Structure 1
């Protein structure tokens, strides 16, 4: 029986070593590669073609969200489990839409971690039970009707909104438009205020619903 091959992507060496120790205590799991940033993670998955990649959400060069999008665009068969310190509700639904197979917190019980890896390798989706309530809350929030803008957006704000809908970070938007990151942040704040929205996820939903991208 072949082992479940896993790549670990986290910018903290101690975290990777801890995960590796836990997983390789199991006779049916083998860690075949490690990555310290998103770019390395993408390359490791391309070259090693593991069954599963444990992907930290906050990494340098390319974060876990962006790295996941790259892998999914390339239609690679590797299953992605997002690993994070926080219950990032803002990302959870968006990541599920991109096709991730799992979403777990770093304080997960070791046996539950093993269970998650085995589950996604079988083609199942594994969401840490403690995150289920957050997932439902986020779904309900995004299902609510979004109010129209109290004031019209400027042409620049519409550009920023379009890039947010594409999943770009403030730094990426600043490079794209040739403006400072602080200016981008100011535009984002103005967009949220004018549209009566709470966060970037709602901005993206608004843009898609109103055919602004």
Structure 2
């Protein structure tokens, strides 16, 4: 199996080195290039045509968002992932508009980071948990405030899974949900994974969209 080729773009050398070491500890990922600003990132992407380019949102000369928007011109098969300290709605939506396949926070742990890159390489989109909630809330702004009675559930969701799904739809984070049930955050994350698996979706946005569209809760 070919390794997932990755280019890292961040203006802080130590940050790049740390992310590189973390990613290359997985045998399926190979960091093939680095850049210190958005313009350089596009040059490296043009030369190397990596599977994925990870772009820090704030860089000199050209931001990660600007580079993501221009990426298709120089490396149309490369998928952009935005990396940021901020989960603000403005940045997240700008990343989507720029064509990014993912938006990860800088405090994302190794397991989620690696999982995200593998899903993105497979053609799916991936957003950190907190970011998914931002997008879900944005999606729901276009939905009517009242919901009709739920229809028969063809996905065999359990009562607890439906309760968690309703709380996600209402914009609650994993930590809030875990506190409501007196369970660990990891337990809630497992429930969310099982819900997405049953619904046949790969991320929280598609999960919320499908649940609302099909009136599952």
Smaller-chain TM-score range? Answer: 0.5 to 0.7
Asked if 2 retains the 8 angstrom alpha-carbon contact of 1:9 and 1:38, the reply is: yes
User: Structure 1: which 5+ runs fail to align?
Assistant: 144-213
Asked if 2 retains the 8 angstrom alpha-carbon contact of 1:72 and 1:98, the reply is: no
- Cα-to-partner distance string for 1:108-159 (whole Å, 9 max, x where unaligned): 011110111111000010011121221123345589xxxxxxxxxxxxxxxx
Q: Is 1:123 aligned with 2:123?
A: yes
Q: Within 5 A, what are the aligned runs for 1:25-40? A: 25-40=25-40
User: Structure 2: which 5+ runs fail to align?
Assistant: 144-217
Shift of 1:93: 1.9
Asked if 2 retains the 8 angstrom alpha-carbon contact of 1:93 and 1:138, the reply is: no
Q: Within 5 A, what are the aligned runs for 1:57-136? A: 57-74=57-74, 76-136=76-136
Shift of 1:20: 0.4
Pair 1:127–1:62, CA change in 2 (3 A): same
TM-score, length-scaled by structure 2 = 0.62
Which residue in 2 is equivalent to 1:48? 48
The runs of 4+ residues in structure 1 deviating greater than 6 Å are none
Pair 1:18–1:75, CA change in 2 (3 A): closer
2-structure distance, mates of 1:86, 1:102: 14
Q: Report SS of the residue matched to 2:7.
A: strand
TM-score, length-scaled by structure 1 = 0.63
Which residue in 2 is equivalent to 1:14? 14
Number of matched residues? 144
1-structure distance, mates of 2:7, 2:21: 13
For the aligned residue pairs, the C-alpha RMSD in angstroms reads: 1.9
Asked if 1 retains the 8 angstrom alpha-carbon contact of 2:42 and 2:74, the reply is: no
